[in-house]
Amino acid sequence: MIRSALRWLLSSVALLFVVTALTFVLVSLAPGDAARAILSSQSSTYTQEQYAAMRHALGIDQPLPVQYGHWLNDLVHGSLGTDLFSGQSVAETLRDRIGPSLSIILGTVVLSGLVGTWLGVVSARRGGLPGRIVDVVSLVGFAVPNFWLALLLVELLAIRLAWFPTGGYVPLTQDPAGWLRAIVLPVVTLSAAGVAFVAKQTRDAMSEALSAEYVTMLRARGLPERAIVYKHALRNAAIPVVTLLGLLLISLLSGAVVIESFFSVPGLGAQAVEASGTHNLPVITGVAFCFTVVVVVANLLVDLSYRWLNPRVRAR
């Protein structure tokens, strides 16, 4: 137990280092730099002295490892550097944006998990028509670009029928009903791929579990079908599916970036897209850091549930 905890800690720290160090390497490769970007956003001309002064003020005249050391030092003190344009700390900029992102991502995980598992179990048991429906759903969910799906859903449900707002976000603490209405379309859009993924994986895992010898033996002992499917087979099928949920979450993070931009949800992803357009690297680094933390936590949860589900691993 201690060994695996240590291993998790080690790989998590490594991941955080790699992601953040990667940003710094990329910055050094960039043709222009932040100083130039800020100066040219303030006025069309600037002197060499102004440029040097700005570089010094931003700390980017120092060697890369030193800059990275500073950034890490900032991190320890709870800051993620300074937003190049607003001048406030990146942590400040990002703080309010975590809520919307988490709402959408967790909403999608819950919806895809429930609907996908249900579809997968039904199709594994029945074959035939339900099986074909899952086939089609997973193909469509895989193939339809989420921004296009968002476009169609907004046109139909937000503009024509006006059931949901076309975008924006309302904090849960402010107005729970408004929050729900605001996240429905982003969550449904993102869930298309999630449901497809979970349904397919569940179906494969369930088919395998249901054709295992122990299932025949459970039947031979007269256990009711419901217990065999939902207690025994599903519990076994969950083991491979759970390990893939980590991958699903990582791909949801990517999807969320596009979908937040589309629905103008003030989340981390939309912020990253905006920052990418303005070369605001400290902000992107900050978002990368936040996302990596989400991935690290998700991996931990996946690992823990894998252990909890699989007695063999638990014993180790």
Partner 1 sequence: MTIVPLPTTEPADATPAAAADPRLPAAGRRRRTWRPRTWRRRWLGLLAGAYLLVLTVACVGASWWAPADPEFQDLAHPLAGPSSAHWLGTDRLGRDVLSRLLYGGQVTLIAVVEAVTVFAVLGITFGVLAGYFGGWLDRSVGWVADLLLALPGIIVLLMVLSVFPGNSTATMIVLGVISCPLLLRVTRGLTSSVRREPYVQAARLSGLGSAQVMRRHVLPRLVGPIIVQLSLFAATAVLVQAALSFLGLARPESEGPSWGNMVGAAAEVTSEAPWLAVPTGGILALTVLALGLFGDALRDARVDRIQPAFAPRRRRVTRPADPTPPSADTGLLSVSGLTVAFDLPRGRATAVRDVSFEVAAGEIVGIVGESGSGKTVTARSLLGLLPPTGQVVAGSAVFDGTELTGLGERELARVRGGRIALVSQEPLSGLDPVFRVGSQLAEVVRRHQRVGRAAARARAVELLRTVQIAEPERVARLYPYALSGGMAQRVSIALALAGDPALLIADEPTTALDVTVQAEILALLRELRDRRGMAIVFVTHDWGVLADVCDRALVMYAGEIVEQAAVEDLYRSPRHPYTRSLLAANPHRAAVADTLPTIPGSVPSPAEWAVGCRFRPRCDLAADECAAGPIPLVPVGAGHRARCIRHEQVVDR
Instruction: Tell me the window of 60-68, 111-119, 127-135, 173-181 that interacts with partner 1 (CB under 8 A).
Output: 127-135
Closest separation in Å from C-beta 9 to partner 1 = 14
Of residues 183 and 257, the one with the C-beta less far from partner 1: 257
Of residues 11 and 88, the one with the C-beta less far from partner 1: 11
Structure tokens that stand for 103 in this block: 């709402």
Q: Kindly identify the residues of this chain, within the stretch 18-47, that bind partner 1 according to CB under 8 A.
A: 18-19, 22-23, 26-27, 29-30
CA distances from 132 to 116, 119, 145, 161, 223 (A): 14, 11, 22, 31, 29
Per rule CB under 8 A, count of chain residues that contact partner 1: 100
b/e map 163-173, b = 16+ CB within 10 Å:
ebbebebbeee
Q: Which residue has the tokens 């298309």?
A: 192
Closest separation in Å from C-beta 210 to partner 1 = 4
Q: Which of 66, 110, 152, 297 is in the footprint of partner 1 by CB under 8 A?
A: 152
Ramachandran sector of residue 47 (left: φ over 0; alpha: ψ -120 to 50; beta: rest): beta
Instruction: Tell me the window of 39-47, 50-58, 88-96, 196-204 that interacts with partner 1 (CB under 8 A).
Output: 196-204
The strand pairing partners of 82, in sequence order, are 89
CA distances from 12 to 174, 178, 253, 255, 294 (A): 34, 36, 17, 23, 11
H-state helical runs in the chain: 2-29, 34-42, 48-58, 64-76, 90-126, 128-143, 146-153, 176-210, 213-220, 225-226, 234-262, 268-277, 281-309, 311-314
Q: Kindly identify the residues of this chain, within the stretch 206-235, that bind partner 1 according to CB under 8 A.
A: 207-208, 210-225, 227-229, 232, 235
Check if the beta carbon of residue 280 is closer than 8 Å to that of residue 83: yes
What mask, x for binding partner 1 by CB under 8 A, covers residues 155 to 194?
x---x---------------------------------x-
Instruction: Tell me the window of 103-111, 171-179, 180-188, 199-207 that interacts with partner 1 (CB under 8 A).
Output: 199-207
Q: Which of 180, 239, 300, 301 is in the footprint of partner 1 by CB under 8 A?
A: 239
Contact call for residue 122 and partner 1 (CB under 8 A) = no
Of residues 147 and 163, the one with the C-beta less far from partner 1: 147
Q: Kindly identify the residues of this chain, within the stretch 43-102, that bind partner 1 according to CB under 8 A.
A: none
What's the rounded Cα separation, in Å, for the pair 259 and 156? Answer: 17
Of residues 89 and 101, the one with the C-beta less far from partner 1: 101
Q: Kindly identify the residues of this chain, within the stretch 272-301, that bind partner 1 according to CB under 8 A.
A: 272-273, 275-281, 284-285, 287-288, 291-292, 294-296, 299
Of residues 127 and 168, the one with the C-beta less far from partner 1: 127
Q: Which residues contact 60 (CB under 8 A, 6 or more apart)?
A: 27, 33, 34, 35, 67
